[in-house]
Amino acid sequence: MCALRCPTPSVSADTTSRSLSADSRSERAVPRREAITRVSGTNRVTEKRFAELRESLGLHDVPDQLLHLAFTHRSYAREQGLTDLESNQRLEYLGDAVLDLILAAHLYDAFPDLLEGDLTRLKAAVVRKSALASIAKQLSLGRYILLGRGEETTGGRRKASLLADAVEALIGALFLSGGFDRARGFVLEYFSALLEDVEARDSLRDHKSALQEIVQARAMAPPRYRVVRTEGPPHDRWFVVEAVFDGNVIGAGEGSTKRAAEQEAAEQALASLDGWLKE
C-alpha cells in the first residue's frame, strides 16, 4: 500500500532550480553571514554536536552556516542580539511548503483512487505537529537546537511545536543546498515508517463521528472536548484538547485549530475506549 517505490514526481531539482541554482539559493538563505558565524561558530561543544548531526544524517552537503541557521531558534537569536530574520523561521516556512509538495506528490501516486478531500486528510495526518515532533525525536534533533536560556529552562527542547519547526527548517535547508530531489530523498527515507503507519491505518475516518457513533449505540452520554491550553500569537494559535468521557480523560490531541486537536483527541480516545467501557 505504501508507495515508497513510486516513480519520482515530475517536479525535480532541475525544474525547481532552472532560474536559481542551489548555490545561489543557499547564499540568499543566510541574512547576515557574519552574525550567524558569531552565533554558532565559536562554541566547540556546539560544533562537535553539529559534526555528530552531519555524520548521523548524512548532511555533509549542507553548508555550515545554513545548517546552523536551521537549528537557531528565535529565542537564541534574540539573546545574541540578532533579529528574527537570523533565526530558523524563514527556513521553517520554506520547509513546510517543500514538505507539503513532497507528500502531496507521494500520496497522489500512492493512492490513485482517492479524491482530493481524502488525500488532504491523509497528508494532514503526516504533517501535524505531533507527527513531525515524533520524527524529530526519532532523529534526536532536539539536542542540536540552539535555544535561549528562558526557552531552555521552560522545557522548550521537548515542545512538540518547536521540534516540528526544526524538522521543517532542516527540510528547507536541504532544499536550498541540494534542490527538490535532495529534500525528497530525506523525507522519504526518514518519514517512511510514519508514512507506512498512516497509510496502513484508517487515517481517513472522521474520528469524532466514529467515537460519537460508538457511545450513542450504547445509549451513553457523548464525550466532551475541552481546550486545556493554547500557545502562540493570535495569528498562529496552537491548541491542546482533551476528550472527556464519563468524567475521565480518555484522549488528548493538539493542532493548529480546535477541530484538528479534537480529531486527534478522538482518535486517541477510540484506542482507549474499549478499556473504559469494560470497567
Residue 272 has what pLDDT?
77
Residue of 92, 96, 181, 267 marked catalytic: 96
pLDDT greater than 60 at residue 12: no
Could you tell me if 116 and 215 lie in one domain? no
Least confident residue range of 24-28, 133-137, 204-208, 271-275 = 24-28
Residue of 86, 92, 168, 199 marked catalytic: 168
Mean pLDDT computed over 185-201: 85
d(CA 279, CA 195): 34
Could you tell me if 25 and 155 lie in one domain? yes
Q: Which domain holds residue 237?
A: 207-278
Q: Is 0.75 surpassed by the pTM of this model?
A: no
Give how far the C-alpha of residue 25 lies from the chain's centroid of Cα atoms, to the nearest Å. 23
154 inside domain:
yes
| DSSP β-bridge partners for residue 146 | 72
**Is 96 a catalytic site residue?**
yes
The share of the chain scoring above pLDDT 90, in percent, equals 43
221 inside domain:
yes
Could you tell me if 17 and 77 lie in one domain? yes
Which runs of E-coded beta strand occur in 89-191? Answer: none
- Give the alpha-carbon dihedral of 159, 165, 168, 169, to 10 degrees: -120
Q: What is the CATH number of the domain that holds 262?
A: 3.30.160.20
Could you tell me if 152 and 234 lie in one domain? no
Residue 246 has what pLDDT?
83
Give how far the C-alpha of residue 62 lies from the chain's centroid of Cα atoms, to the nearest Å. 20
Sheet holding 224-231, edge to edge: 224-231, 238-245, 248-255
d(CA 74, CA 80): 10
User: Closest Cα partner for 40 from 95, 79, 96?
Assistant: 79
| DSSP β-bridge partners for residue 231 | 238
With 0-12 / 13-18 / 19 or more C-beta atoms within 10 angstroms meaning exposed / middle / buried, residue 68 is buried
Could you tell me if 196 and 211 lie in one domain? no
Local confidence band at 224 (pLDDT 50, 70, 90 cut-offs): very high
Least confident residue range of 9-13, 29-33, 78-82, 144-148 = 9-13
Give me Rg for the CA atoms of the chain: 21
Contact call for residues 15 and 180 (beta carbons, < 8 A): yes
Could you tell me if 124 and 221 lie in one domain? no
Query: What is the per-residue pLDDT across 145-185, written as a single tens digit (0 to 9) for each?
Result: 999 998 888 888 889 999 999 999 999 999 999 999 999 99
Query: What is the per-residue pLDDT across 70-127, written as a single tens digit (0 to 9) for each?
Result: 999 999 999 888 888 889 999 999 999 999 999 999 999 988 877 787 788 888 889 9
Could you tell me if 185 and 229 lie in one domain? no
Could you tell me if 145 and 67 lie in one domain? yes
**Is 206 a catalytic site residue?**
no
The total of structural domains in the chain comes to 2
d(CA 188, CA 109): 13
267 inside domain:
yes
Mean pLDDT computed over 58-63: 94
User: Closest Cα partner for 183 from 171, 191, 168?
Assistant: 171
Could you tell me if 153 and 214 lie in one domain? no
Mean pLDDT computed over 124-152: 91
> DSSP state, 146?
B
Residue after which a domain boundary falls, among 145, 180, 200 = 200
